């Protein structure tokens, strides 16, 4: 795994987000020539730079302000890059539902910009991050991620002569990521409650950030082009998880209230479709969905 990164030039889009930050840190430990963290939030760049200056002072980190919607900037930034980890996205269901045009611009057009820029610059590998919400989607966010998957995978299949190989990694919910359930519940508990849960029946797949990052790097090592990598993740009932979180955080009585499912939210998510299962290779820790020939 380390041999893939050592002395390479790496680009991480969304490089200041929860997953992007952990990717940058783990990649830095593998001796790259340079890591470019590409993201549009100046303050998050500032925070990441503080951490990296402290923990990895000898690693060459480039902090690049930019948006994946800006094709010309991406074409410049992907020059001489060996591997792109594409983590930039609008990833919250609520905000995508309220701003569908923004989700399309970032999740769909942004992905198209990435693959076109990488193709022009002959970037050898692109690994893009998707979500279980792309499986039989009911939300804007899930739908845009499904389109992203199809754009990238079919590009890889339909352009076998191209030097750029593409793979996708499909995540569930990432524990303790920014804006996720556990930090929100802890804040509600700290304020004395109540803790909010959408529906008593709701279930979600969860993974630790370290497992998510490990899966992304494993995909980069093993990919041949056109695969979707799906980690085997435990599924939790959200109500039961809320009760467990309360018991771990306090001995006080904290009420749980039910707010109802929001627009686009499923009661239960899925990791693969039935058709995908038919063309998947199953390992101990993941499924690898093989591409089908769509020429």
Active site residues: 133
- Asked whether the beta carbons of 218 and 120 are under 8 A apart, the reply is no
- Asked whether the beta carbons of 293 and 237 are under 8 A apart, the reply is no
Q: How far is CA 285 from CA 135, 158, 212, 215, in A?
A: 19, 29, 12, 9
Collapsing DSSP to helix, strand or coil, 55 comes out as helix
Report residue 184 as tokens.
Answer: 């929100």
Nearest to 230 by CA among 173, 275, 183, 172: 172
Using the structure block, give the residue that is written with the tokens 């701003």: 99
Report residue 120 as tokens.
Answer: 């022009």
């Amino acid at each position: 795994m380390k041999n893939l990164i050592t002395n390479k030039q790496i680009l991480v889009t969304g490089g200041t987000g929860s997953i992007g930050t952990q990717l940058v840190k783990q990649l830095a430990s593998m001796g790259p020539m340079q890591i470019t963290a590409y993201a549009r939030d100046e303050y998050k760049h500032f925070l990441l730079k503080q951490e990296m200056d402290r923990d990895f002072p000898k690693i060459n980190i480039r902090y690049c302000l930019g948006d994946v919607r800006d094709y010309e900037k991406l074409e410049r930034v992907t020059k001489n890059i060996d591997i792109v980890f594409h983590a930039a996205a609008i990833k919250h269901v609520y905000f995508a539902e309220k701003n569908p045009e923004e989700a399309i611009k970032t999740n769909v057009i942004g992905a198209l910009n990435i693959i076109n820029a990488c193709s022009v610059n002959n970037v050898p590998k692109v690994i893009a991050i998707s979500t279980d919400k792309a499986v039989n989607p009911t939300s804007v966010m899930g739908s845009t991620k499904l389109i992203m998957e199809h754009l990238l995978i079919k590009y890889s299949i339909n352009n076998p002569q191209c030097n750029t190989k593409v793979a996708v990694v499909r995540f569930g919910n990432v524990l303790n990521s920014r804006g996720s359930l556990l930090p929100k519940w802890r804040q509600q508990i700290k304020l004395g409650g109540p803790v909010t849960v959408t529906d008593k029946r709701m279930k979600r797949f969860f993974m630790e950030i370290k497992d998510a990052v490990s899966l992304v790097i494993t995909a980069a090592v093993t990919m041949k082009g056109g695969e979707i990598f799906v980690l085997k993740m435990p599924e939790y009932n959200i109500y039961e998880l809320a009760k467990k979180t309360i018991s771990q955080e306090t001995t006080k009585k904290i009420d749980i209230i039910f707010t109802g499912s929001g627009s686009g939210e499923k009661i239960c998510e899925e990791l693969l479709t039935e058709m995908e299962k038919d063309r998947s290779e199953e390992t101990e820790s993941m499924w690898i969905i093989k591409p089908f020939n769509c020429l």
